[in-house]
C-alpha cells in the first residue's frame, strides 16, 4: 500500500494567512486532522474527504506549537503565549479551559492515559503536570515536575514508564521507572552516570566518555556541569534503578563526535522499542535522523548502569530550512519513518522490506533505507504525520500548505 502512495490532495485556506504549519495531529479514530499554525490558528479537516471543518482563528495569542488528543473528542493545544488550551470537538466555539503555569513558550504536550495526567514542557525548562481529573473553567491543579536547561522536547514511552527529554545542547535525559505523582526538585532524584550512547560495534567496550564541556543540562547550585561526585553517587537498588532515576546521555550522531549537536525533534516507537531523533550540528550545516534501540538488562560495567540507548540506524537529511524544527514520526506499526526532506517527505525503513525493527537489528549502525520520496510542496516541509487508522500521510510546510498522500493504483 505505501509503495503505491501518491500525493492525493492539498488543503489550504487562501482567505486567511495562517502562517507556517508547525504540527499535525490526527484524532485516535482518524476522523479529524488538526493543524497547528504559526499565526494563532488551529485548522480542522476531514482527512478522508479533505474538507475543511473549522478554523479556530484565535485559538491562542501567539504561535500554536503542538496538539495532543486525550481521547476521540478532547484535545489540547499549546502556544508561544505560554498557555495550554483544552478543546472539545463537540463544542469548538469556546475553550473548555485555559491552563496557566509556564513562563515561556510551551512546545510539547504528552498525556498519561493511566492517570489522566497532562504533561507539558516549554522553553522555560519546566515539565509541568496537570490534573485533568479536576478541571474547571478556571483551569486544572498543576505542579512543576522537573526542570532542566536547554529543554527542547519531552516524550513519554507508550507504557508511561519512562520520560525522555532532549536538549539544544545535545543531551538526552531519561527518567526511569517514572512516577508522575512525585515532583523532582534539584538534588532529589538519583542521577545515573552520564554517558555517550554506544553503537553496536562497541557495546562491550569498557570505555565511555563523560559529558561534553558545554555543561550539563541539569541545574545544579553552581550552574556548572554535573560533577563526577554527583554522577557516581549510589543510586541503584537491587534488580534495577530507583523510581525517577535520571540518566544523562550524549547520543552518538554520525560525523558529530567533535562538533556537538542539537536534538531538535524527539519521537518514540509505538511499541516502545526505540527512540527517533532529528539532530542538527551546532553550525547548522548538517541534519541527521537517528534511531536508537532501548537496551535493557544488566549493566555493561559494574561501576555504572547500562547505557539505555544504542544507535542502530541513521541517515543524513537535506540541509534546508535552517532554524526551523522538522517534526518526523513513526508509522502506527513502527515499521516506517516519515521524515521531512526539503520540499517533500521521505518514507524510510529499517530495511528494503519494511521489516520490524527487532527483526533487522544490525551489528553496526546501518543506513535507513529510502522506501519512497514524495514531493508536493513549494516550500520547506516542517512536519509530517501518519494516520492512525488509514493508509494516509499528511505533511505541512513553511508557507502553510497541508498535503495528503494515499495509495493510487
CA distances in angstroms from 253 to 109, 174, 185, 277, 308, listed in the order given = 26, 18, 31, 10, 16
d(CA 14, CA 190): 53
Give this prediction's pTM. 0.84
Q: What's the pLDDT at 236?
A: 41
Q: What's the pLDDT at 22?
A: 95
Buried b (16+ CB within 10 A) or exposed e, 264-286: bbbbbbbebbbbbbbbbbeeeeb
d(CA 261, CA 283): 8
- Residues composing the chain: 409
Q: What is the DSSP string of 166-215?
A: EETTS-EEEEES--TTS---TT-S-EEEEEEPEEGGGTT-S------TT-
d(CA 171, CA 346): 26
Report, in this order, helix, strand and coil percent for the chain, each rounded to 5. Answer: 5, 45, 50
pLDDT < 50 stretches in the chain: 13-15, 186, 193-194, 198-239, 258, 297-305
- Nearest CA to 393 among 317, 352, 341? 341
Contacts 24+ apart (CB under 8 A), 120-125: 120/78, 120/84, 121/151, 121/153, 121/154, 121/165, 122/78, 122/82, 122/151, 123/151, 125/149, 125/150, 125/151, 125/219
* Phi and psi angles of residue 229, each rounded to the nearest 5 degrees, phi first: -65, -40
Which residue do the cell numbers 538534588 mark?
Answer: 187
Q: What's the pLDDT at 336?
A: 96
Three-state SS for 2?
Answer: helix
Domains and CATH numbers, the chain: 2-196+243-407 (2.130.10.10)
d(CA 37, CA 23): 7
Q: What's the pLDDT at 221?
A: 32
DSSP assigned state of 275: E
- Nearest CA to 395 among 20, 130, 51, 143? 20
d(CA 120, CA 146): 11
Q: How many CA atoms lie within 13 A of 108 on its CB side?
A: 28
> Could you read off the pLDDT of 19-63 as tens digits, one per residue?
899 999 999 999 999 999 998 999 999 998 888 899 998 899 999
Q: What's the pLDDT at 46?
A: 93
Amino acid at each position: 500500500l505505501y509503495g503505491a502512495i501518491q500525493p492525493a490532495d492539498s488543503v489550504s485556506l487562501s482567505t486567511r494567512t495562517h502562517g507556517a504549519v508547525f504540527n499535525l495531529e490526527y484524532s485516535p479514530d482518524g476522523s479529524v486532522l488538526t493543524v497547528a499554525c504559526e499565526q494563532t490558528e488551529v485548522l480542522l479537516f476531514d482527512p478522508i474527504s479533505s474538507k475543511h471543518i473549522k478554523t479556530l482563528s484565535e485559538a491562542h495569542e501567539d504561535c500554536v506549537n503542538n496538539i495532543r488528543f486525550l481521547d476521540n473528542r478532547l484535545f489540547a493545544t499549546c502556544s508561544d503565549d505560554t498557555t495550554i488550551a483544552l478543546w472539545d470537538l463537540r463544542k469548538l466555539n469556546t475553550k473548555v479551559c485555559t491552563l496557566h503555569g509556564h513562563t515561556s513558550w510551551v512546545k510539547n504536550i504528552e498525556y498519561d492515559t493511566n492517570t489522566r495526567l497532562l504533561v507539558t514542557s516549554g522553553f522555560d525548562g519546566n515539565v509541568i503536570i496537570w490534573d485533568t481529573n479536576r478541571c474547571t473553567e478556571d483551569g486544572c491543579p498543576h505542579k512543576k515536575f522537573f526542570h532542566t536547561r536547554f529543554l527542547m522536547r519531552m516524550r513519554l514511552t507508550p507504557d508511561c514508564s519512562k520520560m525522555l527529554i532532549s536538549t539544544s545542547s545535545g543531551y538526552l535525559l531519561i527518567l526511569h521507572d517514572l512516577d508522575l505523582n512525585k515532583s523532582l526538585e534539584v538534588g532529589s532524584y538519583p542521577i545515573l552516570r552520564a554517558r555517550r550512547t554506544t553503537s553496536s560495534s562497541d557495546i562491550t567496550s569498557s570505555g565511555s566518555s563523560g559529558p561534553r564541556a558545554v555543561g550539563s543540562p541539569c541545574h545544579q547550585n553552581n550552574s556548572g556541569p554535573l560533577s563526577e561526585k554527583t554522577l557516581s553517587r549510589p543510586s541503584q537498588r537491587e534488580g534495577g534503578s530507583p523510581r525517577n532515576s535520571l540518566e544523562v546521555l550524549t547520543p552518538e550522531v554520525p560525523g558529530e563526535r567533535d562538533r556537538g549537536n542539537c536534538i531538535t525533534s524527539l519521537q518514540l516507537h509505538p511499541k516502545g522499542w526505540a527512540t527517533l531523533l532529528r539532530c542538527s550540528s551546532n553550525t547548522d550545516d548538517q541534519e541527521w535522523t537517528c534511531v536508537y534501540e532501548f537496551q535493557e538488562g544488566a549493566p555493561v560495567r559494574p561501576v555504572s548502569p547500562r547505557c539505555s540507548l544504542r544507535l542502530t540506524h541513521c541517515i543524513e537529511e537535506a540541509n534546508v530550512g535552517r532554524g526551523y524544527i522538522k517534526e518526523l514520526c513513526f508509522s502506527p506499526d513502527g515499521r516506517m519513518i516519515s521524515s521531512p526532506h526539503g520540499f517533500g517527505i521521505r518514507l524510510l525503513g529499517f530495511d528494503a522490506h519494511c521489516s520490524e525493527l527487532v527483526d533487522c537489528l544490525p551489528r553496526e549502525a546501518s543506513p535507513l533505507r529510502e522506501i519512497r520520496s514524495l514531493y508536493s510542496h513549494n516550500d520547506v516541509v516542517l512536519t509530517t504525520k501518519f494516520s492512525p487508522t488509514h493508509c494516509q500521510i499528511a505533511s505541512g510546510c513553511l508557507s502553510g500548505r497541508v498535503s495528503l498522500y494515499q495509495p493510487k493504483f
